[in-house]
Structure 1
Amino acid sequence: MPLPAPEPGLVVCYEFLWSHEFDAGGTQGEKKRPCAIILASKTDAGQTLVTVAPITHLEPKYEDRGIEIPPRVKQHLGLDNDPSWVILDELNEFIWPGYDLYPIARNRPDKYDYGFLPPRLFDKIRDAITALDANIKRIIPRDEEDY
């Protein structure tokens, strides 16, 4: 199965690099995790630039910096039953497909996505990211030439 088209709302398996890892000199994330594609746009060179937000079990420190994923949505995506949040103030940006996209499971080496977030939930996430003060958001570039 080929890679999916990078569309907003699609949840992919991605090696997310947190800002504290980046600030410490890291160029690779510590683990692969579900991440929601927030934005996909074309560069001047015709490549697809993708921005993703991580999904984590760790509750955000500030309530306005994460949105909890409802259990039914987690079930729809095939994620575990533990509470999870989409983190709004930590984003990664890369040229699709990049080096850090992975199959969702060892027994599914041809599947890179969990499916789509429901449109209303995606809109809520996108709007909340947009509403955050620019000084709060960290967008970490993941393409090697950006380091």
Structure 2
Amino acid sequence: MPFPTPRPGLVIDYSYLWLAKHRQGQVEGTQDQPCVIMLATEGAANGTVITVAPITHSPPQDDAAVEIPAATKQRHGLDAERSWVVISEVIRFVWAGPHLRPISRENAGRFDYGMLPPALFTRIRNLLVENARQRRIGLVVRQE
């Protein structure tokens, strides 16, 4: 199965490199996890440039995350634990890159969980943009 077309709102599985680990000199993510494509810029010199926000089970320490409703997680085949989209950091990379992962062993050729509902994605995007305007967002750029 080919890679999906990258578009904002699509949830993919990705080897996410947390900003704190990046600042410590780490260059590889330590675990694969769902991420939301927040921006896809076509026509870049090396291909489509993607910006993703991670999804985590760790409860946020502040208002820097948006909880994903249980029904949305179930519809997308994600686990039943509570999860949040982090809006305080993102990763930028050229699609598809070596860090995109299949969503499961049973679906080894599938790399996405589907699209977030438009209202939820819009809420996440608006909060992320506000964080960026206030310079409260971290960015990791992966070159490979």
Q: TM-score, normalised by structure 1?
A: 0.93
- The separation in 1 between residues aligned to 2:46 and 2:109, in whole angstroms, is 26
Q: Tell me which residue corresponds to 2:98.
A: 99
Within 5 Å, which residues of 2 pair with 1:12-51? 12-45=12-45, 47-51=47-51
Tell me how far 1:12 sits from its aligned partner: 0.3
Count of aligned residue pairs for this structure pair: 143
Q: Percent identity?
A: 41
Tell me how far 1:46 sits from its aligned partner: 5.9
- The separation in 2 between residues aligned to 1:35 and 1:68, in whole angstroms, is 13
Unaligned runs of 5+ in 2: none
- The separation in 1 between residues aligned to 2:10 and 2:44, in whole angstroms, is 24
- The separation in 2 between residues aligned to 1:59 and 1:135, in whole angstroms, is 22
Q: TM-score, normalised by structure 2?
A: 0.95
Post-superposition Cα deviations, 1:4-38, rounded to whole Å, max 9, x if no partner, equal 00010000000011011101101111100000000
Unaligned runs of 5+ in 1: none
Post-superposition Cα deviations, 1:97-145, rounded to whole Å, max 9, x if no partner, equal 011001000121100000110000000000000011443101100114x
Q: CA RMSD in A?
A: 1.1
Within 5 Å, which residues of 2 pair with 1:37-76? 37-45=37-45, 47-63=47-63, 65-76=64-75
- The separation in 1 between residues aligned to 2:20 and 2:101, in whole angstroms, is 22
Tell me how far 1:42 sits from its aligned partner: 2.4
